[in-house]
Every structure is written in structure tokens, then in C-alpha cells.
Amino acid sequence: MIVEGLLLAMVSYGAYRMMRYQARARRYLEQSGDEQPLEMDHLEPALARLLQTTRSLRLNLEGTARLAEELQKTDLMRTQDDMEAASRELMDASRDVTSWLQDVDNLSERERERLGDMGVSPEPVRAAMSSEGWSFELKRLKRAKGRQSLDRRIRGIIAQLATIEVAMQSSTRVYR
């Protein structure tokens, strides 16, 4: 009888968590806008790859920002496993951003000049990561005095990446 009750409680808890996950996923899909295909024909191969990576990183960070926002809410059903998974996701996002910055640094001088000609600079993203200590961490989740919450700081990086995406898709060639 006790075992059956315990089993029923575990199944109920699992069903509850599944419904919450599906509700969050549904809200995300309803809120997300349609992404237009990237315009890359005018870009050299290395810059086209960087544009694709920029889009991918921006989309991944949107999930990370939502996670950071959710973690700030009180949830009595949140487990230690949930927190460890969230910590891993935040660290993965940190690695993705620093990897993107490394991709920019690895461009040739000519390609970096081309980025500059397009008005693209990775420095706002670099500065944001530097202010985070180069990693998003649970201990910095809440808003510290004089700072925004982590989800808003991540959204700031997302906005910078979106600006870079738009700038890289604008052809700087003049047609006559």
C-alpha cells in the first residue's frame, strides 16, 4: 500500500513536470517570431560561417535567457537535479559565447576589416562577457546592486548579436 502510494506520487510528479515543460514550450513557440533566411551571398565563406554561427548563438541564448528568468521565480518543485542542469546550461552558453568571440578573433585581418566596414564590432559582447567574469553562473542570477538580472544581461548580448546579424546581411557593394 505504501509502495503503491509512493509510486503514484512519483508518476503524478512526473506528469506535472511534463505538463509544465509543455506549457513553457508552447508559450515560447507562440512568442517567437518567424526567422527570415540569412542573406549571405555577398559574404566571403568565413564571414558567411560567422553569420550562421551568430544566428545560432542568438537563438540558443534566447533559451538561456528564458531559463535565467524562470530560475528567478520561486518553484517549490525545483530539484537539485534541475539546478545542476541549469548550471550546466548556463556554463554551456558561456562557452558558446566565448567560442563565438574566438571565431571572430580567428578571422583574417582582411575579414575583420570587412566586419568593421559593415559596422560590426564584437566588443560590446566581449565587454558583457568580461563583466560576467566570462561565465554565466547561478550565483549571479539575482540582480546585484546597480546591475540588471542575469536574464536581462543575456538579453543585452542577444540584442548585440541581432544587430550584428542585421549589419552582416546588408551588402556594402554599390551597384551601378
Does residue 39 lie in a domain region?
no
What pLDDT score was predicted for residue 39?
Answer: 86
Give SS3 for 147: coil
Whether 37 is in a domain gets the answer no
26 and 84, same structural domain? no
Q: Are residues 17 and 54 both part of a single domain?
A: no
| Interval 4-52: pLDDT, tens | 776 676 666 666 655 665 665 555 545 556 678 888 888 999 999 999 9
pLDDT in tens, 111-133: 999 999 999 999 999 999 999 99
Q: Are residues 82 and 116 in the same domain?
A: yes
Residues 27 and 51 placed together within one structural domain of the fold: no
Q: What local confidence, expressed as pLDDT, does residue 170 receive?
A: 82
Print the domain residue range for 12.
1-32
**pLDDT greater at residue 149 or residue 99:** 99
Q: What is the DSSP code string of 73-116?
A: S--TT--HHHHHHHHHHHHHHHHHHHHHHHHHHTS-HHHHHHHH
Asked if residue 38 belongs to a domain, the reply is no
Domains held by the chain: number: 2
Residues 113 and 155 in one domain: yes
Q: Is 134 among the domain residues?
A: yes
